[in-house]
Structures are given as structure tokens and as C-alpha cells.
Structure 1
Amino acid sequence: MMASDDSAALRHDMRENTICVKMLGEFAFSNPGNEWMRWRSNKARSLFGVLLVNKNLVVGKDRLRELLWPEADRSSTSLKVAVHTLRRVLDTHLGADRDYLRVEYRDFGYVMDVGDEVIVDCHEFERHTSAARDAAARGRRAEAVQLYRRAVTLYSGEFFSGERDGWVTEQRHWLRALALSAWEALAEFALEAGELGDAADACRHTLAIDTANEAAFRRMMVIHARRGELQQVEWWYELCAERLREHFELDPDHHTRALLRRVLNREFAVEPRPAQSAAGSPGFGRRHRFVSALNSR
């Protein structure tokens, strides 16, 4: 293990002697002295992850074997060895006399007694996104934006990066979907408020997670349309079409094509900008070709 300095988002809510566990992005956890430790992938670490995701709940031995050693025989001692290794690692770095993050055998399974001293980033991420959705549903926009921003700050990468077990993939896709919905909400809030830079930043983060997200491409087209940047609208449409063909062998849907058609036919509301001569407007001939191609679909 080695020290880590990339967990500033978790430190925001830390109280004295708080233990933080970072499962989004590169796995790491802190000790009471606020020293961050990384732990290379092995089955003990995977067991730690399963028990943390199911914190304070008993996970049966058969279920743990199914999740972590799906091909192993029931007589295998792999689970017992992983439990022993996990306990030894936690005792070494957190102290054997602690009353948190303890692995206990109970009711034919194992449970991770987490305790109030422990903050797990993926749990905090889910808590903030849930609270943000609730605030948005109640019409409390400023509160929702603040909570969504705190949530996406915690989302520093895919869940349990580097792990390929089936349970990790399921959890990873769930948290990824929450991150996409959070960035989508931030983009929509920013567009409603006329904060085009913030909206573009939210779209950029969306596309970093999902490179073929058509809704994010449409928002980028809207942003540049509102700025009167028609060539940029074309460029984002072309990139969208390229990504959809590359990933799914699909063309942009009718909403995206209709948006481009509206923009290039100058049917889209444009925010006031300094006057520009027609001769200085880039891509003038190409826009006519695009409109003709769209109208033929």
C-alpha cells in the first residue's frame, strides 16, 4: 500500500478521526491519522468491496463464493483465506482495537460492521443524488444544484476501477447511470438559467462517461445555436453521427435531425450577439448542403 493525495472530495465532510473509503476511481482508504492507503487488487480487497456495498448486512457464505469464486468447489478454503487476509490488513492499518470496519461471522455469513466513523464515497454519492432529486421535485432549484455538484465531485471514476467481477459490473453501471443523470440535471438547470458555459461543462462530463450520449450532443448543439455559432452546431452534429455509427451503426434520431434543421433554417432563437457580416460567417455553403440532406430524410 502507498499514500494517496487524490481524495479531496471526501475530505470535505470529514470529522476528526473519520475513516474514508474511496471506491470510485482508484480504490483507497484512510486511517485515523488521515493517511491515505492504496490496496492492490486481490480477493481480500474484493471481499472488502462486497461487504462494504452491503454494509451492516449479513452476506451468506454461499453468496460470497458465488460472487467471488464462481468456478470454485464448495470445499474450497478461498473464502476463509480471504477473510483472514482482510482482517489482517484492516488490523494493521486501522488498529485491532477499533469498533468499526470489523468483519464478523454471523448467521452463516459475514457482515462488515461499518460504524458512524466511516464515510464511503459511493454511499455519499448515492445519498447526494437522492437528496438532489428530492429537492428538484420540490422545486428547490438552488439546493438541487448544490447537491448535484457535490455528488459529481465525488464521482472520480468508475466503481472499483480495475475489477471485473460480475457484482462489480452491476454496481458500476448503476453508479454510472446516477452520474449521467446528475450531469444531465446540471446541464438542464444551467440551460434554463442561461448559464451556457456551465451547461457545456456538464455536457462535456457526460460525454466523458458516455461518448455516444445523443442527448448531450443535442444540448451542445442548443448551446452553440443560442450563441449563434452555426458551424459549431454542425460540428457537434457530425461528431454525434460519427459516434452513433461507430458504436451502434445508427444515424442520429429524428429529434437530433429536427434540431439541426431548425438551427440551420434559422428557426432557433439566438441570444443577442455582436453583428457579423454574411461574408465573415463560416461554413455558409456547407449549411445549405446540410439542410438539403436533412430535408431529404
Structure 2
Amino acid sequence: MRNLTTSTFSLSAFLQRTQGKKVVLIYPWSNLKTQFLSSYLDQAKDGILYYRVPGETVNLVDWIDGMLNEFRTVLGDKFGKKTSAALAERIPAHIGEALASDLGAVVKSETILYLDDLDQINFDDEFNHWAQAFVSALPEKLQLVISARMLSRHPWDHMVASGDAVVIGVETRKSAMAFTVDTDDRPQLECYAFGRGNILLNGKPVTTWEGTLPRTLAFFLIDHPLVTRDEIFHAFWPDLSVKDATNVFHVTKRKVNERVTSRIDDDKQYELTQYTSGFYVASEKLVRHYDVQEFQEAVQQALVASDDRREQLLYQRAIDLYRAPFLQTVNQPWANDRRDELRRLYAVALTGMGRIFLRKGEMNRALGFLSRAAREAPEREDVHRDVIRLYLEFGMIHEARQQYDVMEQALSSSMNLQPTKDSRALLESIKARS
């Protein structure tokens, strides 16, 4: 896992590329988003309004109302009066115009309105009418930046054609330690490895792989962007001779490349990897977007964040990305090891969020995140102690004792250890209050 503290983001280059555009579409925003947000928070401070559309949102009125409520925590309780009135009317164009007006009344300097996970809602006629009215009425100092895993062409296509919107694709290379804004019209490869796993090419899912092995090899190569042939053979065919493993590998890799090409353009040849200096690396013909990579970057950057605001944003992004365990249906040693590694990293994100809320004095929210962290990483004695202390603070003595017993059993079974002195002191506190 590479150290991302040296990764760079040129905010000035981004602003130059998007200058004069009302709308910026990042497709699908995978690698750039974390670096953009963290850098913008460092460099622009108050110049961004961020809202992530929650997964349970189903319609325009609900998500606009939720956004108003969240923005009121930073813009004041009086924000959004016109929009609230328009929401009662439920006319999409009026809602768009009212929201632009309310934002224009509070935005005094150059500001970005960043809408994250926008594809949680339907891009239907209602949304299209709202978007067209909202963008048309945007004040000059406000720019709309949209992030989504998959963006429908409408209503953005005519905005791009007219010059009001710009689409930016990105690629992060393992060797470059930085992202580059991609100006080429290269095919987009999207890999979502949390859960059962899904690979898309130019928005089209790959549904047939001619067997389990090509599919699994595709995920392995995406997850290992710099890998030797010996490492591949060890992961997939450790008991075969080099000659036999080579034959199976080339046949399987050819099937992978055939599936990749079939989802892009049958008249051209596309490969998932290219061979350079003894390594299989990501093909330069494709722009990659990988949810696991973004997850890792978010956690690593949160660990070195300079303030709670940035740290919380990064941890929340990591938690949102971890929708389920890594490739949960693949039962191979390399996948099992990777699943455990990412699970522990997920526990780091949950723990980080919990301790942020501890510092804020929001004990109920802290308990929720820390309890989840203890379940994901039962070997983390320090996290169990945090949970026990919170239970004691809430007067939940029985729950505190249960948590101690869970911790004791986990330490014994996983590492053959007994609780430390600090943990045993908590047990004495539990007994004293029982």
C-alpha cells in the first residue's frame, strides 16, 4: 500500500480547466475526488458547500429538503426560505430557481457547491427540469460540481455542448504518486470490488467472463497494478509447473482481454494490462477508476489530516465506499488476505470517526461507530476499551461487562493473550458498579 502523503493536487490547474463553467462533471470521480476535497479544504477553507446524497433518498423533494437541513447547520437557520416554499409547491423548475436564489443570497465569494453520489436519485424528467432551471439561475460566484458513479447524459449533454459544463476524467498511476487531468477520449474502466464485484467499461457492465477464472484474474490484475508473472502464478497456480502455469495464464488473460474489447469496440484491441520491465502494469489505453483504491487513499489521508473537518470528511467517504467485504464470493488465499486487510482498514475508519465524535462530545454517535469498529476488528483492545468506557458513562453496566467478555474472548482466541492492565482496571470499575 503506497504512502499517499506525497500525492499532489494542483487546485490552480483544476480551477483553470473549469474557469467560466457553471457545471463540472467528474466521471466517475473515483480517484480525483478525495484529493480534490482534501486539497480544497486546505487551500480554499470556506469556499465549498458539500452535500452527499444519502442512499435512502428516492425523490427530488426529499434530497433537496435534506440538503437544506444540512446547510442550515453552517449557513444559519434562516437559510432556504424560498426553497422551502417551492418544495411545498413541488414544481421542479421553481425549486431549482428558488435554491439558486437562496444560495446567491449567502454566497459572497467564489464557491463550489459539490453534490456527491448524485446518482442515488433518478435522473428522470422531474430532475431534468430542476437541473435546467437551477443551472440557468446559478449566481456567477457559484459553481456546481457533480460526483456520481455513473452519470446519465441528460440533462448534462446540452450543457456540455453549449460550453456551460465540462467533463473531467482522471487517472492515478501507481508510479506517478499524483493524478493527471485526462484530456484523451480513452475508454473508462470502473471496478467496484466491495461486495460481489462489478466491472464496467464505458458504463457497460461485463456480465459474462467465460468462466470464473477470467473474472477472478481480472479483479486480481486491477487490484495489483504492479505485479510480476511469478506473483500471479503463486496466487493462482502454485502447484503447476512454470510451463503449465504460463499456458493457463495466457489463455485466461486472452479471455479477459476479449471481454474488455467486446464492451468497448470490437474493431480495436484493448488489454487490461501491459508488460513493462518485468511487470504487468495498468494499460495506458484505459482510464481506471477503482473503489478500493479510493477507499485506501481516503483512510490514509484521514490519518494525516490537519483538522477534524477534513479528517471526518475523508473517514466518511471511506465508510461510504466500504459497502460490503472485498469480493465476498471469491474464496482464494489472495482474496481472503486482501479482504482481511481491507476489513482492518475499515475498522480504522470507523474508529477514527468514533474518536472524532468523542472529541466533539457526541457520545451516542461515538458509541455507534466504535461498536461497529470493535465488531470488524475484535482484536483491537483499545477500541473495546473505548466502547466499555462509553457504556459506563451511560450507566449501561451490563453492556459494559458483555463488551469486556467479548474482548477477553477475542484476545484469547486470536492472539492467545489476556487483557492488559488498563483493560483489567475497567473490569474493576464494572464490578464496583454492578
- Fold match (TM-score > 0.5): yes
State the 1:120 CA deviation.
0.4
Deviation readout 1:211-244 (Å, 9 max, x if unpaired):
4543332222111222222232223223333444
SS at structure 1 position matched to 2:328 = coil
Is 2:369 aligned against 1:202? yes
Out of 289, 297, 306, the residue aligned to residue 119 of structure 1 is 289
Report the equivalent of 1:27.
197
* Mapping of residues 139-158 of structure 1, within 5 Å: 140-158=307-325
* Mapping of residues 39-188 of structure 1, within 5 Å: 42-55=212-225, 57=226, 59-76=227-244, 77-96=247-266, 102-107=272-277, 110-113=280-283, 117-135=287-305, 138=306, 140-188=307-355
State the 1:200 CA deviation.
1.9
8 Å Cα contact 1:29/1:38 also seen in 2: no
8 Å Cα contact 2:198/2:206 also seen in 1: yes
8 Å Cα contact 1:21/1:121 also seen in 2: yes
> For structure 1, which segment, 240-249 or 73-82, has the greater mean C-alpha deviation from structure 2 after superposition?
240-249
Deviation readout 1:106-160 (Å, 9 max, x if unpaired):
455543316674310110001111221121xx2x101101110111211223333
Structure with the larger strand share: 2
Distance 2:353 2:208 in 1: 32
8 Å Cα contact 2:378/2:410 also seen in 1: yes
If the length of structure 1 is used for normalisation, what is the TM-score?
0.72
SS at structure 2 position matched to 1:26 = coil
Deviation readout 1:236-266 (Å, 9 max, x if unpaired):
2233334444555554332222023235546
Identity of aligned residues (%): 20
Task: State the superposition RMSD in angstroms.
Answer: 3.3
8 Å Cα contact 1:100/1:117 also seen in 2: no
SS at structure 2 position matched to 1:72 = coil
Unpaired runs of 5+ in structure 1? Answer: 1-5, 267-286, 288-297
Unpaired runs of 5+ in structure 2? Answer: 1-54, 56-115, 120-146, 152-186
8 Å Cα contact 2:411/2:418 also seen in 1: yes
Distance 2:295 2:267 in 1: 29
Deviation readout 1:49-101 (Å, 9 max, x if unpaired):
2321232x4x4434322332111112221011111110112122343467976
8 Å Cα contact 2:194/2:324 also seen in 1: yes
SS at structure 1 position matched to 2:325 = coil
Report the equivalent of 1:14.
149
If the length of structure 2 is used for normalisation, what is the TM-score?
0.51
* Mapping of residues 236-251 of structure 1, within 5 Å: 236-248=403-415, 250-251=417-418
8 Å Cα contact 2:192/2:292 also seen in 1: yes
